[in-house]
Amino acid sequence: MKSRHGTCLPEIACKFLLSCYAIACVALVAVVVRVHYVQCMNSKTFSLERRISNEQMLLSFISDN
């Protein structure tokens, strides 16, 4: 009687590659989400800095006149 616990090498390799593929997909999604988040934060920071700079210029113009 043959045991069913032993599996063939191609089946093991296929399962291994499938799990590696799944891990790679999850990692890729995490990287894309992180890059998008960082870009959004940089954009908001730049916008805030520009707004503060414009307000300071306006205040200095008003105080000079």
Mean pLDDT to the nearest integer, 37-53: 74
| Residue-level pLDDT at 55 | 74
Domain ranges of the chain: 30-65
pLDDT tens-digit map of 19-35: 999 999 999 999 999 98
Is the pTM higher than 0.85? The answer reads no
Q: Residue 1: what pLDDT? A: 44
- Is the pLDDT confidence value at 48 over 70? no
Q: Report the share of the chain in percent with pLDDT over 90.
A: 31
DSSP-assigned letters across all residues of 3-46: -SS---HHHHHHHHHHHHHHHHHHHHHHHHHHHHHHHHHHHHHH
